[in-house]
Structure 1
């Protein structure tokens, strides 16, 4: 039986995920700017007309916009999407100008912009660190206990007792490292290094394509080797290892995101898998029904996604600003404001087109187009 959360629960769960993560992201920008003495004129969660807000003693207007699908920190002197100062900036008194974003050295502006995505990653790392500190970390030996007859593993020549050390050029230290690497590469030839006793063997394995459906009716395809695990081991971690384990786990997730994006760009994975806000809302509602631990883990995953996407070198995103700052550092002077303005207009057009595309995908995943086709037919 397919389980579906109600509409109100889905909407509430979505805002419970996206609101705090946007706040965390913008808080990174805010505190980095504050550390360098930059005045923040406004801190907004959401866009459009202000629904509620207040002004603090530093003169920052904290507010919530009616469209809660984003947010921003507006620093003094930062007057356009390209972060170029308003002409009135030139007329400011020296003391006031010194507190503006554009008056700061390049390296400080770079840190202020990078702090948003960095805080998203830091949030996920803290969540995973809390999990590892509370429950330990799976550390099952990276040894194949069994091989399924007729599976990709058997066809590749993998035998019980083989110790897997590398797949797809990624190191394997424990059995739990295998599935995340393989599941996103169905049907893709992968180099696999194993030790059979003291002898290292290089194999090529092509993971089987396995179609699955979860309790909510979501269908997806994963790669499957067909190897069995030894008895699972959950190892309590000393306090000194918790943070390192959380950082490694976050890094592995980012590597998987990069690999998946590369597969979409090269056509090895369908662009239909790209999702947007509606997809996040759908999975938010589904995950919250599983309990608060899966929901918090889901938030950590979305936080990593937000950090990763914002670092892409697309104008209007943080990564676009950082790219221009890097060029400025190499050239020893900023790009022409006209060039920046056109770049950010192009970036806006690209982002709007992308949002329309992923919304189309989201509606397809919700069955809208199939339903309309059925009505027309």
Structure 2
């Protein structure tokens, strides 16, 4: 495959992932708004100039825009980024004002705002639950089938047959739980709790670091203890159990995201590992080439990412709105408009700085800066 078709495939895959997920995220806001009688003035599928559109009987303008990367919903009364009432809102007739976002009770506004991220989580739960129903759930126990000679586990004194019960104080129920914990912590010291011949024991180990490259040239630092699984256990999942498996798997992935973010904030993991839209487009194209199962699983992962990121307590994001609503609930009065305005300016600046940083990371991962330096030199 030549370079140009590969780029086009990556762009197509990225649009197929991000576009529907952001659209469904906004659809969550829209449906919650309708539930509480809020009029949606505009629902844009895509960004930029309108290519085509129509106005439905409720007065909502449905726009199809030329940049197919998501969309947005604009409610009546939601007249500025901070969703603060304005003089224009106060001048509306009482009947029209009742249909606006700002006229609703605090808890109703909070549900409308939270509905977007919740929709992303529901999408992931449905996908992961369906996978469990089709393929079963890996319940391989935490018993060490093998211990690699010279590995961190062997150095710490672990032996084949030991049953690992906790890593770093966090209980592990399956071998998959162990793998997820160690893979995120290369080079870190961890306390391993285990059972040997019915006796509870603990040892300290330094998780090893394995640098791997996938078939597309992407490089990853992965933590490894050097423990191999025993006999694999794949359990069938019934229709009624599948949603719960989807929920627990989504929660486990979110826990890994929280761990990764905490490592970046504390400096244990470099910020260069944060991926932006360029690298995500490349990964989307790669997953699409690997087949529909891998691609759909990526959709679930990115959907969880979108929900998680949007719940961060940063003004401009949904989580920032919810934080302000929480403060309002505690104070029993809205946050002052000037405070909200400066908070949203700061949040916007932080988001733009983050986008710039991850874009620089993405370009660096493709060798742009190295090549540029070579040309200049």
TM-score interval for Structure 1 and Structure 2 normalised by the shorter chain: over 0.9
* Contact residue 139 and residue 175 of structure 1 kept, 8 A: yes
| Structure 1 counterpart SS, 2:144 | coil
* Contact residue 274 and residue 361 of structure 1 kept, 8 A: yes
Q: In structure 1, list runs of 5 or more residues that go unmatched.
A: none
Q: 2:332 maps to which residue?
A: 332
Distance 1:226 1:372 in 2: 40
Question: What are the equivalent positions in structure 2 for 1:262-301 lying under 5 Å apart?
Answer: 262-301=262-301
Q: Please, what TM-score do these two structures have when normalized by structure 2?
A: 0.97
Distance 1:50 1:321 in 2: 28
Q: 1:313 maps to which residue?
A: 313
Distance 2:82 2:225 in 1: 48
| Structure 1 counterpart SS, 2:241 | helix
Alpha-carbon deviations, 1:231-278, whole Å to 9, x = none?
Answer: 212110122321111111111111111111111111111110111111
Q: 2:224 maps to which residue?
A: 224
Q: 1:241 maps to which residue?
A: 241
| Structure 1 counterpart SS, 2:149 | coil
Alpha-carbon deviations, 1:151-182, whole Å to 9, x = none?
Answer: 01111111111111111232211112111110
Q: 2:65 maps to which residue?
A: 65
Distance 2:165 2:341 in 1: 49
- Offset, 1:297: 0.2
- Offset, 1:69: 4.4
Distance 1:194 1:80 in 2: 55
Larger displacement relative to structure 2 (47-56 or 75-84)? 47-56
Q: Please, what TM-score do these two structures have when normalized by structure 1?
A: 0.97
- Offset, 1:47: 3.0
Distance 1:41 1:69 in 2: 20
- Offset, 1:4: 10
Q: In structure 2, list runs of 5 or more residues that go unmatched.
A: none
Q: 1:192 maps to which residue?
A: 192
Is the alpha carbon distance of 1:46 and 1:168 closer, same or farther for their aligned partners in structure 2, counting shifts above 3 Å? farther
Distance 2:204 2:258 in 1: 22
- Offset, 1:70: 4.7
Distance 2:321 2:72 in 1: 14
Distance 2:282 2:33 in 1: 35
Distance 2:202 2:71 in 1: 49
Q: Aligned residue pairs: how many?
A: 377
* Contact residue 276 and residue 362 of structure 1 kept, 8 A: yes
Q: Does 1:352 align with 2:352?
A: yes
Once superposed, what is the RMSD of the aligned Cα atoms?
Answer: 1.7
Alpha-carbon deviations, 1:102-151, whole Å to 9, x = none?
Answer: 00000000010011011111100100000001111011122111100000
Is the alpha carbon distance of 1:273 and 1:229 closer, same or farther for their aligned partners in structure 2, counting shifts above 3 Å? same
* Contact residue 23 and residue 70 of structure 2 kept, 8 A: no
| Structure 2 counterpart SS, 1:43 | strand
Distance 1:122 1:310 in 2: 14
| Structure 2 counterpart SS, 1:358 | helix
Q: 2:254 maps to which residue?
A: 254
Is the alpha carbon distance of 1:257 and 1:4 closer, same or farther for their aligned partners in structure 2, counting shifts above 3 Å? farther
| Structure 2 counterpart SS, 1:360 | helix
- Offset, 1:5: 6.5
Q: Does 1:96 align with 2:105?
A: no
Larger displacement relative to structure 2 (184-193 or 166-175)? 166-175
Is the alpha carbon distance of 1:3 and 1:157 closer, same or farther for their aligned partners in structure 2, counting shifts above 3 Å? farther
* Contact residue 22 and residue 45 of structure 1 kept, 8 A: no
| Structure 1 counterpart SS, 2:285 | helix
| Structure 1 counterpart SS, 2:240 | helix
Q: 1:175 maps to which residue?
A: 175
Distance 2:113 2:5 in 1: 37
Q: Does 1:155 align with 2:151?
A: no
| Structure 2 counterpart SS, 1:210 | strand
- Offset, 1:360: 0.8
Is the alpha carbon distance of 1:133 and 1:3 closer, same or farther for their aligned partners in structure 2, counting shifts above 3 Å? farther
Alpha-carbon deviations, 1:25-83, whole Å to 9, x = none?
Answer: 10110111111111101112333322332222211112233344453211111100000
Distance 1:355 1:33 in 2: 29
